[in-house]
Structure 1
Amino acid sequence: MKSLGMGGLFAATLIAAPVAAQETASAPAAIVLPEPAAPSALMLPRDTPVHLMVLNEVSTKDHDAGHRFRLRVDKPVVVAGRTLVPAGTPAWGELTEAESSGNAGKSGKLSARLTHIELGSLAIPIEGGTTADGKSGKGETLLGVLAMGPLGLFAKGNNAKIKAGEKMTAFVAEDTQLPHAP
């Protein structure tokens, strides 16, 4: 064991004295830091473009007016350098008209409106739509009548369809407050 000697003992007492004094004095008040601010809500402005892609084919052969169909956000929605809606976010559309093809070469017709983006539990309303017409079968009907007589009138036109992978652009329908960035 090493001896401090008289000078070392005096220095050790001086160093230890303030520590002992601090221990017996009342504890200083705790430093209170402000709570971290909650993430501020973000605004997705009206008329912001949203690029969408249809996931499954929708046709007048298989679907009627009122049928809801699924899309996805094809490109992230970026506002002021922040991604507010990531690519891949689900979106929805609805058929407003679905007229099947008919005899005498009548082609099918459909109309659809884009309804909303599903961002977590938030439904962001969007505006946009599309229409599609099937190819007319009138040429085939005329050939059918020439070849088969009146039975050629039963030749149908083609159904209208929105193909899987088709891309569309919608627009945010109203200013929408997002609780935080996804």
Structure 2
Amino acid sequence: MALIFGAAAAVLLAASTQSAAAAETKSAAEPPSPNSVEPAIAPLVLKRDTPVHFMVVSEVTTKTHTQGHRFRLRVDKPVFVDGVLALPVGTTAWGEVLAAKKSGNAGKSGSLEARLLYVDVEGYHVPIGGNNQAKGAGGGAETALGVLALGPLGLFAKGNNAKIKAGELMTGFVEGDTEIPRPKPSAP
């Protein structure tokens, strides 16, 4: 009987050794399950009052734009956080027209006030503070000449519209500490 018990123990020992080896081989060959935890990558934090330089993408003018109009800008100089590129040149940003007053008769110039809203980083909004004001050139001298040459009809001479030109540079500041995703490492 001891001989049977010894043989059974040897068979069980061999079977458990084989199943352990098979489990190791299987786990090495399979990718990790979706439930496995990958190490977390800490986001970047853009600190409050970090300066961000922008360029206006297309002209904004009182001739065609009114209060509430949103306009596109792009980051003009890269922004780094702890040596990591957080906002590359070309990143899209948005501004909004706060007030737009068209030019008027008698040489009255137009005026435009706009504010920066946010930078769009992979769907995350980095709030930016900063305003810009523009005023059209006055047409007072032209109106005076028009009155001399045309009489009262010279009063209908219009002033110039205010505009923020395409390519104009603006600077804004991050309004509060804001987390953004860390850029994914590029493949070698």
TM bin (shorter chain): 0.7 to 0.9
* Structure 2 residues without counterparts, runs of 5 or longer: 1-13, 29-35
Matched residues, percent identical? 57
Give per-residue Cα distances to partners, 1:54-80, cap 9 Å, x unaligned. Answer: 000000001111110000111111122
Q: Distance in 2 between matches of 1:69 and 1:173?
A: 19
Residue type matched to 1:59 in 2?
Answer: T
Structure 1 residues 1-182: aligned runs within 5 Å: 26=17, 27=20, 36-181=38-183
Q: Distance in 1 between matches of 2:66 and 2:37?
A: 54
Contact 2:100 2:112 in 1 (8 A): yes
Give per-residue Cα distances to partners, 1:76-116, cap 9 Å, x unaligned. Answer: 11122111111111000000010000000000000000000
Three-state SS of the structure 2 residue aligned to 1:63 is coil
Q: Distance in 1 between matches of 2:37 and 2:172?
A: 39
Three-state SS of the structure 1 residue aligned to 2:149 is helix
Three-state SS of the structure 2 residue aligned to 1:71 is strand
TM-score by length of 1: 0.81
Three-state SS of the structure 2 residue aligned to 1:152 is helix
Deviation at 1:36, TM superposition (A): 4.7
Three-state SS of the structure 1 residue aligned to 2:147 is helix
Larger Rg: 1
Q: Distance in 1 between matches of 2:93 and 2:137?
A: 28
Three-state SS of the structure 1 residue aligned to 2:142 is helix
- RMSD of aligned residue pairs (Cα, Å): 2.2
TM-score by length of 2: 0.78
Number of positions where the alignment pairs a residue of Structure 1 with one of Structure 2? 160
* Structure 1 residues without counterparts, runs of 5 or longer: 1-22
Three-state SS of the structure 1 residue aligned to 2:150 is helix
Q: Distance in 1 between matches of 2:16 and 2:95?
A: 71
